[in-house]
């Protein structure tokens, strides 16, 4: 309930601290409760409803954005990277930004407009970066381009989106909840071999065969796997043979993470989208254009490394990064979700 003066009443919750996504109302309002948000960040956590941009300084150093240039943020998200790149343009040039998620895109568009970035310098488009070829044909070529392949914290933390095993919610996992089928339906469509293959290819899951068998057994017995909690319980049941203790708890945690990752990649056709993006990349960059890609697991990084290497050998790229660039220890301590990040960059000939 909201009072006449606009003050939001304190959300009631059990205990001394808010625990659920909805209860963390101060974190959802960073402009009003900046001290609370900063305290959460200092603890190494991401405030509810927010996303902390990763490796900002390293990306800006790679992209070397100059006023007057034309750029593309292929994965807008919360707009953290976007805002920093817009700042480099100093009111000159133009930045285009894509996001497949209509829910978060609308919020970020409003947030950036309130920060002073209107349609004169920023154009936001709801589409998948797999359409890079057509986007570049209409708005490019681009002098700089960024793709942050990670799922946003806003999506991970919101139970209604079904991205995390840690909170109960519908097993959805779609980046665009208005298209395609939710993960609960997709999982039912797959046979045992397909589930095992998905777990190996998308997440290098060591218990892929056993977990695929457990999932299919659940369906044969008339059970449902339609919530995040239910999928976590299936993982726990699959690994029940492990000796009790900290090692088992850690194994269950990592298997849950990999299982949700593999299913999310499958539901959103993420590898196919990344391949289409990389295939269109040379034509999207202007001569001397720079590209930076943040990846978060080995499957993504392999695709990026292979494409960059091929374009370099063919003379399409004049420079590519020598290996991956990792976030600093200080950043990882401040933002735990940065730990698995790999940054690669390249320059168009």
State residue 31's pLDDT score: 58
CA distances from 216 to 10, 255, 258 (A): 45, 17, 18
Q: Which residues contact 318 (CB under 8 A, 6 or more apart)?
A: 312, 347, 348, 349
Q: Is the per-residue pLDDT at 25 higher than 70?
A: no
Domains of the chain, earliest start first = 1-50 (no CATH), 56-153+271-348 (3.40.50.150), 176-267 (1.10.150)
Give dist(CA 105, CA 99) in Å, integer. Answer: 6
Which of these ranges, 38-42, 131-135, 237-241, 244-248, has the smallest mean pLDDT?
38-42
DSSP string, 282-327: HHHEEEEEEEEEEE-SHHHHHHHHHHHHHHHHTTSEEEE-SS-B--
- pLDDT, tens digit (0-9, with 9 covering 90-100), for 185-229: 999 999 999 999 999 999 999 999 999 999 999 999 999 999 999
pLDDT of 334 reads 82
Report which of residues 104 and 232 the model is more confident about: 232
* Phi, psi values for residue 313, rounded to 5°: -65, -35
Residue-level pLDDT at 159: 85
Average pLDDT value for residue range 15-22: 57
Instruction: Using pLDDT thresholds of 50, 70 and 90, give the confidence band for residue 49.
Output: low
State mean pLDDT over 295-301: 89
Q: Stretch 35-50: mean pLDDT, rounded? A: 53
pLDDT at 71: 98
Average pLDDT, whole number, for the chain? 88
Q: What percent of the chain has pLDDT over 70?
A: 85
Determine the Cα–Cα distance for residues 104 and 106; give it in Å rounded to an integer: 5
- pLDDT of res. 3: 41
Q: Which residue has the higher pLDDT, 161 or 313?
A: 313
| pLDDT given for residue 203 in this prediction | 92
pLDDT one-digit tens code per residue, 126-179:
999 999 999 999 999 999 999 999 777 777 778 888 888 988 999 999 999 999
Percent of the chain past pLDDT 90, that is, above it, reads 71
Quote the CA–CA distance of 246 and 159 in Å, as a whole number. Answer: 26
My answer on whether omega of the bond before 141 falls inside 30° of 0, hence cis, is yes
Asked if the model's pLDDT at residue 50 lies above 70, the reply is no
80-89 and 56-63 helices, crossing angle to 10°: 40
Give the integer Cα–Cα distance in Å for 129 and 135.
9
DSSP states of 170-235 as a string?
A: BS---SSTTSS--HHHHHHH--HHHHHHHHHHHH--TTHHHHHHHHHHHHHTT----BHHHHHHHH
**Can you give 83-96 as a three-state secondary structure string?**
HHHHHHHCCCCEEE
Tokens of 22: 């909805």
The answer to whether the beta carbons of residues 187 and 216 sit under 8 Å apart is: no
Query: How is the chain split among helix, strand and coil, in percent rounded to 5?
Result: 45, 15, 40
Q: Residue 14 — pLDDT band, cuts 50, 70, 90?
A: low
CB 280 within 8 A of CB 136: yes
pLDDT of residue 4: 44
78-117: pLDDT as tens digits? 889 999 999 999 999 999 999 999 888 999 999 899 999 9
E strands of 53-137, at which residues? 70-73, 94-99, 122-126
């Amino acid at each position: 309930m909201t009072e006449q003066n606009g003050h939001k009443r304190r959300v009631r919750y059990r205990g001394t601290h808010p625990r659920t996504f909805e209860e963390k109302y101060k974190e959802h309002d960073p402009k009003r409760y900046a001290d609370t948000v900063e305290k959460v960040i200092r603890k190494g956590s991401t405030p509810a409803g927010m996303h902390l941009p990763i490796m900002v300084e390293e990306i800006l150093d790679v992209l070397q954005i100059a006023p007057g240039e034309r750029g593309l943020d292929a994965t807008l998200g919360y707009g953290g990277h976007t805002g920093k790149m817009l700042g480099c343009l100093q009111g000159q040039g133009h930045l285009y930004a894509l996001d497949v998620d209509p829910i978060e895109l609308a919020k970020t568009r409003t947030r950036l407009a309130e920060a002073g970035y209107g349609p004169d310098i920023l154009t936001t488009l709801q589409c998948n970066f797999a359409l890079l070829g057509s986007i570049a044909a209409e708005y490019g070529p681009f002098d700089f381009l960024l793709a942050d392949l990670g799922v946003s914290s806003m999506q991970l933390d919101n139970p209604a989106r079904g991205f995390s095993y840690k909170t109960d919610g519908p097993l959805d996992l779609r980046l665009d909840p208005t298209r395609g089928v939710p993960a609960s339906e997709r999982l039912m469509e797959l046979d045992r071999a397909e589930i095992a293959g998905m777990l190996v290819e998308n997440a290098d899951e060591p218990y892929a065969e056993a977990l695929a068998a457990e999932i299919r057994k659940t369906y044969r017995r008339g059970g449902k796997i339609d919530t995040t909690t239910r999928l976590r319980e299936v993982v726990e049941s699959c690994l029940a043979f492990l000796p009790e203790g900290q090692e088992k708890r850690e194994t269950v945690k990592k298997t849950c993470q990999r299982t949700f990752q593999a299913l999310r990649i499958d539901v959103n056709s993420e590898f196919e989208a990344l391949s289409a993006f990389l295939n269109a990349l040379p034509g999207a960059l202007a001569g001397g254009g720079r590209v930076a890609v943040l990846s978060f697991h080995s499957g993504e990084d392999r695709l990026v490394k292979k494409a960059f290497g091929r374009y370099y050998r063919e003379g399409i790229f004049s420079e590519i990064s020598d290996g991956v660039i990792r976030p600093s220890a200080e950043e990882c301590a401040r933002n735990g979700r940065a730990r698995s990040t790999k940054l690669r960059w390249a320059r168009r000939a």
